[in-house]
Every structure is written in structure tokens, then in C-alpha cells.
Structure 1
């Protein structure tokens, strides 16, 4: 929906035609938002100017405010040459994982980070399943790295069997992997078998297992260096 909006630049206050969304990001209803103010810290002639607008949902049951940001783009085919920027309103989440663990299992890193994001958004029921999946990728990828000749076999084995058969030489890692898996299984089943452990315990065990695996990777790297 095109709408002429007065924008207060540093040097002038022209009316600019902008493409205003016709839905509320809070309630999701279709409506024509009220525009309260438009401003920019740039001059009207600056080539990289950005403008911001304070809008309000017109639905009587909502009336919540939201911000819109537009970036000047002289090559745009839209009227006014301003493109609406995509705002997600999500705070970046920093996930601390052992150095080099992505070289053992990049998929583990991806799944673990997504699980942290889900948990941070209050989706604890989904996060637990994600952490369980992350555990499987971490352990299987590590087992495959150490036993590359059994790659296809490990890929198709149950995780518990991989832990039993391929982590015997690394007892502490085996214990951490088994504990993470037990709690993770509780996150995917109807009835919990271990009521005294929760998702926080599982994360602790997963990160400790990742530390062991990252240390083993570094040890192999050191061996290659001195050999």
C-alpha cells in the first residue's frame, strides 16, 4: 500500500511515497496502519540515506506500535526509490562451543545452535528434541572420523549401539554420550524415565562431550605435527 509520509531529514521535511505494509506484525490482522512519525539522521540528498517510521496497528483490539525502516535505492523500481528493510526483532544469540568442533561435525554445530535459539524463544519442548538430534550427529560424526571404514555401518546404527561399540576406548566420553542420549530420549518420549534430570543436564553433558572430542581432534593435530 503506497502512502505519502512526511520524513524529517536533517535539512528538510519532504513527503515521500512509501510502500506501507497492510498487516500488523503483532496481531497479524490486515489493516491500514496509522503513521505517527517519520525521521532520518541523514540529509535528504545523501546517497545512503535510511529513514524510519513509527506506525500503529489500526485494529481496535491491538493498537500496538511497530517500527518500519526504509533504505534508499536509486535503482529500485518502486515509487520513491525506498525499499522496506526486513526486521525480525530477534536478539542475536551467541553460542559458545569448543574450538574446532565444527571440523568434526559441522551439522552438530548447526543443530545445536538452532536448539539454543528455540530454547531462548521459550520453545523448550522442541529444543529438547533438537539437543537430542545434535547429540546423535556429534557422536556419529566422531565415530565415523575415528572409524572411517565403518562409515555406512555407523550411519545406519542406533545411537546407543554406536556409543556401546565405538566409544569403548574413551570411557568418560562414552559416559557423557550415554547420559546425554538417555535424557534426550526422555525429551522425545511420552513418559520420562529420568525425572531427576532435565534439559540443562543434557546440555551440560553434550558440551562436555564436545570438549572431549575437540581435545581429541587437537591431540591428533599435534601428533601429525610432531611425527
Structure 2
């Protein structure tokens, strides 16, 4: 999920197996990225310059921007989100989270978009990591608070999910965030830990905190979450 600021070497790259599991190799470019390679869902990833849904071509990497400097870019790929949705009602929350960490279920697309990973889950707690970069910046030159808020909401929510039996789901109904320090692209790997304060069969309560690579507290949050039966 990093920004490709550095030029890639023009060396041959061996074709990588397709993520669809068909065994057919995906064509690779000199940078090692498979052009139009199918994702785990079987649909091809968009190539730079390929027409978008609106019919206009996507910007080519390195094309000049309005400021006259080369454009920065990053590739975002994700799996079919409904793979996990289909099996979620049959698994306990903790089993579901651990299956994602083990690669047995795909992570949610929001994780790929924001560059955050679920790295630990126990009953009543969940931990995410994320390394901020320039693509997370707001107009005033720091990481947008929305990234931090998403980390806090995800960690608190998954902490509650880890306490739920099969057939039960959750959704946030309130999230209160306190921002204490800014994040920048050189803040290093940040960690967000969510913890259940009070589990419940109708409403659960959790808290979460984000720290930077130096262990400094960046933000905290408290969350209320609605618990409800999932449709099978």
C-alpha cells in the first residue's frame, strides 16, 4: 500500500500465478505488477491508463499534475467482499477474524484501500496496524483524521465482534474520537488496539487507542455498538 515514488528497474520478472487459483500465470510488467491480472475474486485489476467506468482513461503514472510535478500513484486491489459476507453467519466472531488473519477469508476492501491490517484478535480485543503515507494527507500537510478514525472504529468494532457467537453481527451507533497528536508520512507503523469495555446481547461498549512507532498516543475513542442477528 505504499506510494510508488521510486522508478522501477527494467528487469524481466517471472509470471506470477493468478490469484483466482486457476493456475494460469498472470502477465507481469517490468515493475513486477501484473497488468490486468485477475484478483482473488476472478475479475481483472484496472491497468493505468485503462478507461474508467465513466469512459475516461485513468491518469498514467508519472503524468504531470496541475502543479507541473510528476503524479504520485499507488495500486489498490481487493477481493470480492461477499465471500466473507456469505460465511459470516456460520462462524463465531473470533473464528471469522482469525480466518481473515490466516488468509482463509479475504480482508475487507476498506483495509486494502486505507492500508491497514488486522494483526491480532483475542476474546475482547483486536489490533490493527497501518503505515501512513502521503496518499493519506489532508490539505494542511498531515494525515487526514479520517484514517485515524477508521482505525479506531475498526479496532473497537472487531473487538466486539470477537465476543459474538455465530449468527450475530454488529454495527457502530456512536463513536467519540479525541485527537491528541498529528500523524505524518514519516510517523512509521502505527498501532490501534480495541478493547471491549462491556459486552452485551443488544448493545456493547468498546474503546480504542492509536499509538505511533515511538509509542506516543495519537488518538483515543469510545464506541457504542448495536448487536443483532445476521440473516442466513
Larger Rg belongs to: 1
TM bucket normalised to smaller: under 0.3
Q: Determine which structure has the larger strand proportion and give its number.
A: 2
Normalising by the residue count of structure 2, what TM-score does the alignment of the two structures yield?
A: 0.24
Higher relative contact order (CA 8 A, sep 6+): 2
